Each structure stands twice: as C-alpha cells, then as structure tokens.
C-alpha cells in the first residue's frame, strides 16, 4: 500500500464556519466534511503568543465533535452555562476588544494563516453557534 505524503493530504472541506473573538483568543467553529461525506464539528482555540523572533505565533488547540455526540454535548454545555448563571447571577458580556494597530496587523496575519491552512479563500458563513446552543 502506498503511503501518502503529508503535502498530498487534503484538509477536510469546511462547509460552514463561525468565529468568536474573545479578547486575545479566537474560537473557530468549523463544520467539516469527512471523506465519507459525514459532517463533524471542529472547535479550534487560537491564542496569540509572542514568538522568540519579532513575529507572533499562534498556539492552537482543537476539539472534534461528531454528530452522534451533538445532543449530549449541547445538553452538557447548556447545563454548565446554567450552573454558572445560577451561581453568579447575571453574566456580563465581554466588552468589545478594540485591538491596537499592531494587534490588528497580527490578527490580519492570523486570518491569512488560517485561510492558507484551510485552503479556503471564500468568506465563512455565520450562525453555527446559535444553532448549537439554541440561542
């Protein structure tokens, strides 16, 4: 059997996406299509870290959530959000983070890197988080 080289591997197609900016972190919620045409959710946390050189680096963590687990995950997410809301009362929204000119350039670079990694030059669609949480 012939082994496939890393550069020959195709990244799964993103069919629907949403991003959530949270301070210096960005969460990407991407619905991807597997080789067998199944859809699954890939949640990526991207956190900016200052590299040793002058260029910023991005630390990423991914969680893959498959359709058969959506209901249980959504139920658990709503439960823990409800628990926090009960304990803390009203949960304040994060103030809109206004990046400095330098940080805006970094975010633009990160978006370019994300587009290159995904191989997707088209704008991503909105609304996935609302569908997952029912809000």
Q: Which domains does the chain have, with CATH numbers?
A: 9-128 (3.10.450.700)
pLDDT at 23: 84
**Better-predicted residue by pLDDT, 3 or 81:** 81
What is d(CA 72, CA 92) in angstroms, rounded to the nearest whole number?
A: 26
Mean pLDDT (the chain, rounded): 76
The CA R_g of the chain, rounded to the nearest whole Å, is 17
Asked if 44 contacts 27 with a C-beta cutoff of 8 angstroms, the reply is yes
Q: What is the pTM of this model?
A: 0.60
| Whether residue 8 has pLDDT greater than 80 | no
Q: Which H or E run contains 66?
A: strand 56-66
**Lowest-confidence region among 33-47, 55-69, 98-112:** 98-112
**Lowest-confidence region among 42-46, 104-108, 121-125:** 121-125
Q: Which alpha helices (DSSP H) does 35-100 contain, by range?
A: 70-88
| Whether residue 103 has pLDDT greater than 90 | no
- What is the tens place of the pLDDT at every residue in 37-49? 999 999 999 998 8
Band the pLDDT of 26: cuts 50, 70, 90.
Answer: very high
**Better-predicted residue by pLDDT, 46 or 112:** 46
């Amino acid at each position: 059997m012939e082994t496939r080289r890393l550069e020959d591997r195709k990244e799964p197609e993103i069919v629907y996406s949403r991003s959530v900016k949270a301070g210096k972190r960005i969460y990407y919620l991407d619905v991807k299509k597997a080789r067998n045409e199944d859809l699954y959710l890939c949640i990526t946390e991207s956190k900016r870290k200052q590299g040793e050189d002058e260029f910023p680096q991005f630390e990423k963590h991914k969680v893959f959530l498959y359709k058969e687990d959506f209901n249980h995950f959504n139920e658990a997410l709503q439960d823990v959000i409800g628990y926090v809301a009960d304990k803390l009362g009203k949960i304040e929204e994060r103030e809109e983070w206004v990046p400095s000119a330098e940080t805006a350039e970094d975010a633009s670079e990160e978006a370019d890197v994300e587009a290159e990694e995904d191989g997707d030059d088209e704008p991503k669609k909105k609304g996935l988080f609302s569908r997952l949480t029912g809000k």
